[in-house]
Structure 1
Amino acid sequence: MSNYVLSLDNARIAYDVTGHGPAILLVHGMGSKVNKNLWKDTGWVEKLTPHFTVITMDLRGFGESDKSHDPEFYSINNIINDIHAVINACGFKEYHYFGHSYGATIGLQTCILSKHVQKVICAGTTFGDSFFKESVPKWIDEYEILNTCKQTKTYSNQDLAEEDIEWVENTDIEIIIAQLMAMKSWKGIDVCDITKKLAVYTGFNDNPLVLENFEQNENQLKRNEIAHKIFDNLNHSDLVSKVDTVLPWVLEFLLQ
């Protein structure tokens, strides 16, 4: 059974906690069915509990946490407040952070906006403003088209498979649009902005945008002594699902 805490704006945030030791918060990515159970289902909770108090949370808009169609609801300040509310409810002030995809993008933000985060691990995200300025607006346009199709029940002009249409029909696309609208205003984090202990990783089969950004920043990551790695044969979802491949590198960073 999930635990719940109210954030500063009274949004109800769901979380789970297990284990003993220093706190580590695991934060999922985007997806209509993605939630805090990702970390338990993939084995991360079991693998990390011998070393840490493992906390998983449903980001606002996901799982059992509150949802809204208002973009302001998903502001980065609200999300950081949610994180602090969960950490405090678990009896901690300082914590480590491990995020995947959307959760990794939030992780870079914690490096700047959270004075209580100690070590941060980000799997599958990008540095700088290009994602927020270029990719996010394109995604908003694409989801708005899908939402119009859903509202008008007309899919003939879209090259969609039956399973894609089923997904559109069963997904609250307005929530996704609101989250993306909020992200448009987020400030990109550059490698030179980082002062926290940070580890970032991707895979050679990851999203091309992520891999290209990683390779562009690799020299600066080395200069700033930020732990970084590109795993062979891993795609975007593998970064979290292939726990036995990634775990040794993650633990080396966390326990050193």
Structure 2
Amino acid sequence: MQEEASESCEVTLKLPPFWPQKPDIWFCQVEAQFKLKKITRENTRFDHLLAGLDPPYLENIYDLVDSALTDKYTQAKNRLISIYKESEESQIKKITSGLELGSLKPSQLLRKMQSLAGRSDFSEKVLKTLWLEKLPEHVRSILVIAEGDLNKLALLADKVCEVREVDEIQPSRSQYVPQSTASTNGNSLEAMAQAIDEIRKQLCELRSRSRSRSSSVSRSRSVSRRRNNRPKFDRNGKFCYYHFRFGADCKPEKCSPPCQWEKENENRQRQ
């Protein structure tokens, strides 16, 4: 008892807030702290657990406080996990239909699915199939011919997803497929990743050219519209071409009859 009291008094420990959605992960954090602080006794661990839990969670294990059990911490841990941990059926349902890629990277989605699968009977092959079904078509088409474990495929999928606007810019294949890919092994993840990097660079260049052409065409159209909106010269109108074109800036020697500019000007001055 004296050694146990000494172990409890000498250690300062602050547990993280309890995580009811993932109690098993929370206990991994807690036990990592126990290991670092060399806290091994059940009763000492139980005391730290009591001190760190908020009242709504503490009431689930409060009956163990006065118990004579020698494994209070283990009992409390198993009880909290059994109360708050999702059932295996619920975890499987989330894996199959509750998770979507959304704004996540493919590797992040895979980590979530692996976390939900936990120690269930999901094989890596089944998990890979479910994961691939949640990825975009252009990513899936590359991964199905690639070799490697799930972790390597996840990194490759992240790189593929970085290539944007592939469907918006459709250059011929000779424009953007690197020559090196013709000689690389299609099953080599490193070669595929290098090819994707080259594609990304060339797509950026194509987008830049496309914006430049679009800006040039826009300016040309604007000038054309201004020209088209000008009134056209009427040979049978009141003014000669030069007064029609330059108005009061027309030189007298350029004016040709029957131009009524001077007459119109006199009338305006009288008014």
Instruction: Sort the TM-score into its range (normalised by shorter chain).
Output: under 0.3
TM-score by length of 1: 0.25
Q: Structure 1 or 2: larger helix share?
A: 2
Q: Structure 1 or 2: larger strand share?
A: 1
Q: Which has the larger radius of gyration?
A: 2
TM-score by length of 2: 0.24
